Chain A
């Protein structure tokens, strides 16, 4: 049974091609022809795994993943994947948009595995970019995200919600990770400020094309 992005109800079917990515129903492409500068896009279909237990760093190392040392520290991995230490014994692995070298790890669904707990981590992820993106984020986030280095991971408050923001490069843009319960609220308010600057909502494959991965 296919999963569904928590943001799918906000994408109207006539304006978007709806399909599946990584077993998740999601808006893939916009059908609208419109010039735009700024955008938001739903990336909730990306694969994520939470690894729990004292032996996680060693286990990850056996799968060629270097675990970060400090709390809320992160390591950028191949092809844009990232591993973040959320808590003392909890590490979150987020796949890259183009698919990764870690398919063996992502193929593990929730279960105990070699003494650690593996959980399919449910979240919503929203990409936002464009020439005014820092201004858009500043409307809703008290942190100046522009000062963070590329490929950084910041836990902050955004429109009263606790979430994480990644700053990615080439092209410079941001990705927001939040809980499924907050997803609609965060996306609606972010899209509202984007729309005020004639921005658009894009699908998952639109985003892949933007970062030069093709369809």
Chain B
């Protein structure tokens, strides 16, 4: 395989600069530059960090001087004395498969054949072999191609020459050159409110979502919203959730095939947590399934994967001939999560639905009018408090949102954003797919083995999960780090054990409840014991102590999600 390093000199070539191969550095360096063109750093053969600062300063001053500004003269540092790339970094392979261009799958022998066929100049070899014509446009292959040709020709690299890089250095879509700049953005039905309230709107995929409703610093806003949900009541716009409606006689067989859990025993007007894996047993998406009737289900999916889940369900239905109509309702249905100990008090003013725990238990679904709007209400919780997820037609979004704010005014209701929601859910130890999982995570690694019904006849991923279950090598654990008083631990920081990588942090935050930094980490199985000490390497390469702790971090007996109206005021 070919390795090594080559400077990004494409722009210099395109500008007409003259570059030469420096045998001391084993790289090309600028020899002559057109007027008004300056370069610095590794392209200039300068590798030391402090020298690079000086070099960049000298280049900037040169440019400013060219523009007519008066600037002090800065001495440019000398180029490095030792090479940072090998003279011939093409490593032999035991079976002769020395790859040179990884885009075009070219090996040394392919270039050798081209040379023997008579394509013996750098221009001819390029056109015959296609070296440098792949997506990287030769960034990883051209220099080594020149070295190989030089060896074949018996010439020094400088004598071989290079092909002329053409614009553009990086691919530019045609739409950038001609036509309008179009950046699609999805807005929820409550977008107007978020704008008026000066929410910190950020792109989450194609959606615009409010991170917080900032008055003062973002951190203060998140803390305020967190306390509001924990002690009173709040609402969050969750309209971005995927919403899928399935109707037909084969709904249950389709769901049994597509998801890991069982649906047959799910009672009407009840919900359950569901997740989907692919054929290799890797987690794909999660959500909630509600049974409306034996042939009618309503599912949620993550905001980022909703359309992929719909396509996947449709593909399964088509492949297996299931008689099911699958409707993507994501954009047609708005959703609001009303959460907090006083949420039932607020909701009771807007609906005739019986909210008593006997009539509306945890995980149940009820359909009825909320402020005169026909809605589906799911008693589910993501943030760890008594809560209701209200699904209703999108065109009622603004009005129903305001009705909830008006109804909860005496309870101090307010809107909370995605950042507060992320903190709240982390205290409950709830996963975010794609954050706490990655492209290799299976359910057993994240404590979701309870949701895998291997006794089912068939479902996607069953064979792989059967094999994976006894092969557990790592697991997601909760940790707490009182030692991290400066909040230095970040997501993706590594867990180090005896000098080796033993895991990584997937989620981390400061918990007002625990008064400590805490989070989730995927670690080797040997480190998953409660009380186990973890060493987390932070950005400046120092180590921060953490301890594996039980989850959830907040309300471990889940009483907060089940308490009734009459108790709420006492606990608030």
Mutual binders A and B: yes
* A contact set with B: CB distance below 8 Å: 1-6, 9, 24, 44, 50, 52-54, 87-90, 109-110, 112, 117, 119-123, 139-140, 159-161, 179-185, 189, 193
Q: A1 contacts which of B191, B333, B372 (Cβ < 8 Å)?
A: B372
Instruction: For the complex of A and B, list the 6 residue pairs with the smallest distance between their C-beta atoms, beginning with the closest.
Output: A3-B395, A179-B331, A122-B332, A181-B186, A181-B331, A89-B325
When the two chains form their complex, are residues A6 and B396 in contact, meaning their CB atoms are under 8 A apart? Answer: no
List, sorted by A's number, 25 A–B pairs whose CB atoms are closer than 8 Å.
A1-B372, A1-B373, A1-B403, A2-B399, A3-B393, A4-B189, A4-B398, A24-B395, A44-B395, A50-B327, A52-B247, A52-B327, A54-B248, A54-B323, A87-B325, A89-B248, A117-B247, A122-B393, A122-B394, A139-B179, A159-B184, A182-B186, A182-B331, A184-B191, A185-B187
Contact check, B395 vs A5: say whether CB atoms are below 8 A apart.
yes
Q: Do A180 and B327 form a contact, CB below 8 Å, given A110-B374, A189-B182?
A: no
Chain B residues within 8 Å of A, Cβ to Cβ:
179-180, 182, 184-189, 191-192, 207, 245, 247-248, 293, 296, 323, 325, 327, 329-333, 371-374, 393-400, 403
Q: A4-B397, A110-B374, A161-B184 are in contact. List 8 more A-B contacts (CB 8 A).
A: A4-B395, A4-B399, A53-B325, A89-B325, A122-B331, A123-B332, A181-B186, A182-B184
Is B323 within 8 A of A3, CB to CB?
Answer: no
B187:A181 contact, CB within 8 angstroms: yes
In the assembled complex, which residues on chain A have CB atoms less than 8 Å from the CB atom of B394? 6, 122, 180
CB atoms of B395 and A1 under 8 A apart: no
CB proximity of A141 to chain B, nearest CB, Å: 11
From A44, A117, A123, contact of B296 by CB (8 A): A117
- A143 → B minimal CB distance (Å): 15
Choose from B180, B188, B248 the contact partner of A181 (Cβ within 8 Å): B188
Compute how far the CA of A36 lies from the CA of B104 in the bound complex, rounded to whole angstroms. Answer: 56
Chain A-chain B contacts (Cβ-Cβ < 8 Å), number: 99
Query: Within the complex, what minimum Cβ distance (angstroms) separates B303 from chain A?
Result: 11
Q: Which residues of chain A have C-beta atoms less than 8 A from B180's C-beta?
A: 139-140, 189, 193
A117 to B186, CA, bound (A): 27
Contact A185 B184 (CB under 8 A): yes
The residue on A at minimum CB distance from B393 is A122
- Which of B180, B207, B373 is most buried by chain A, counting CB atoms within 10 A of its CB? B180
| Cβ 8 A contact of A160, one of B184, B330, B396 | B184
B316 to chain A, nearest CB (A): 15
A109 to B207, alpha carbons, bound, how many Å? 29
| A4→B374 CA distance, assembly (Å) | 15
- Residues of A within 8 Å of B179, CB to CB, are 139
Q: How far is the CA of A184 from the CA of B189 in the complex (A)?
A: 10
Question: A193 CA to B187 CA in the complex, in Å?
Answer: 21
Taking CB atoms, residues of chain B closer than 8 Å to A160 are 182, 184
- Report which residue of A3, A140, A180 has the largest number of chain B beta carbons within 10 angstroms of its beta carbon: A180
Complex: A160 Cα to B189 Cα, angstroms: 20
Q: Which residues of A contact B248 (CB under 8 A)?
A: 53-54, 89
Q: Which residues of chain A are within 8 angstroms of B396 by Cβ–Cβ distance? A: 1, 3-4
On chain B, the residues within 8 Å of A140 by CB distance are 180, 182
A53-B247, A181-B187 are known contacts. Are A1 and B182 too (CB-CB below 8 A)? no
Closest Cβ of chain B to A163, distance in Å, is 11
CA distance A181 to B189 in the complex (A): 8
A122→B332 CA distance, assembly (Å): 5
Q: How far is the CA of A4 from the CA of B190 in the complex (A)?
A: 11
**Docked complex Cα distance between A162 and B330 (Å):** 14
Task: Give CA–CA (A178, B411) in the complex, Å.
Answer: 38
- Which residues of chain B are near A1, meaning CB under 8 Å? 371-373, 396, 399-400, 403
**A133 CA to B163 CA in the complex, in Å?**
48
Tell me the complex Cα distance, A44–B398, Å. 16
CA gap between A209 and B142 in the complex, in Å:
66
Q: How far does the alpha carbon of A123 sit from the alpha carbon of B330 in the complex, in Å?
A: 12
Q: Among A6, A109, A117, point to the contact of B395 (Cβ < 8 A).
A: A6
Would you call A120 and B393 a contact (CB within 8 A)?
A: yes
Residue numbers in B under 8 Å from A123 (CB-CB): 332
Known contacts A180-B332, A189-B180, A122 near B191 by CB under 8 Å: no
In the complex, what residue of chain B is closest to A23 when comparing beta carbons?
B395
In the complex with contacts A6-B395, A121-B332, A181-B331, A88-B325 CB distance below 8 A: yes
| Cα distance A121–B245 in the bound complex, in angstroms | 13
* Other-chain residue from A24, A109, A180 in contact with B331 (beta carbon distance below 8 A): A180
CB distance from A208 to the nearest CB of B (A): 20
A52 contacts B331, C-beta separation under 8 Å: no
State the Cβ distance, A94 to closest chain B Cβ, in Å: 14
**Min CB distance, B306 to chain A, in Å?**
11
Contact partners of B398 in chain A: CB under 8 A: 4
Bound complex: CA A119 to CA B333 (Å): 11
The reply to whether B374 and A109 form a contact with Cβ atoms under 8 Å apart is yes
Please give, as numbers and ranges, the residues of chain B lying within 8 Å of A119 by CB-CB distance: 245, 327, 329
B377 to chain A: closest CB distance in Å? 15
Given A120-B393, A189-B180 in contact, is the A179-B332 Cβ separation under 8 Å?
yes
Residues of B within 8 A of A184 (CB): 185, 187, 191
CA distance A5 to B373 in the complex (A): 16
Interchain CA distance A161-B184 in the complex, whole Å: 8
- Report the bound CA distance from A120 to B334 in whole Å: 13
A contact residues around B399 at 8 Å (CB): 1-4
| Complex: A50 Cα to B327 Cα, angstroms | 10
How long is the Cα–Cα vector from A110 to B399 in the complex, in angstroms? 19
- Which of A3, A53, A184: most chain B CB closer than 10 A? A3
Cα–Cα distance between A180 and B396 once the two chains are bound (Å)? 12
Q: Looking across the interface, which residue of chain B has its beta carbon closest to that of A189?
A: B182
Distance to closest chain B CB from A38 (angstroms):
17
A19 → chain B closest CB, angstroms: 15
Q: Which residues of A contact B323 (CB under 8 A)?
A: 54
The residue in chain A whose Cβ has the minimal distance to the Cβ of B206 is: A181
Q: Within the complex, what minimum Cβ distance (angstroms) separates A53 from chain B? A: 6
Q: How far is the CB of A192 from the nearest CB of chain B, in Å?
A: 8
Q: How far is the CB of A110 from the nearest CB of chain B, in Å?
A: 7
Measured in the bound complex, the distance between the Cα atoms of B249 and A53 in whole Å is: 10
How many angstroms from the CA of A206 to the CA of B403 in the assembled complex?
31
B372: chain A residues at CB < 8 Å are 1
* A residues near B403, Cβ cutoff 8 Å: 1
Closest to A117 in B: B247
In the bound complex, how far is the Cα of B188 from the Cα of A44, in angstroms? 16
The docked-state distance in angstroms from the alpha carbon of A54 to that of B324 is 9
User: Are A90 and B325 in contact (CB-based, < 8 A)?
Assistant: yes
Nearest CB in chain B: distance from A1 CB, A: 4
In whole angstroms, what is the CA distance A140 to B179 when docked?
A: 9
A88 to B314 Cα, complex, angstroms: 11
Q: How far is the CA of A2 from the CA of B371 in the complex (A)?
A: 11
Most buried by A among B207, B293, B396: B396
Q: CB-CB < 8 A to A54: which residues of B?
A: 248, 323
CA distance A2 to B393 in the complex (A): 11
| Residues on A with beta carbons closer than 8 Å to the beta carbon of B182 | 140, 159-160, 189
A194 to B186, CA, bound (A): 22
Q: Report the separation of the CA atoms of residues A160 and B187 in the bound assembly, to the nearest whole angstrom.
A: 15
A122 touches B395 (CB 8 A): yes
Is the beta-carbon distance between A9 and B192 smaller than 8 angstroms? yes
Min CB–CB distance A92 → chain B (angstroms): 11
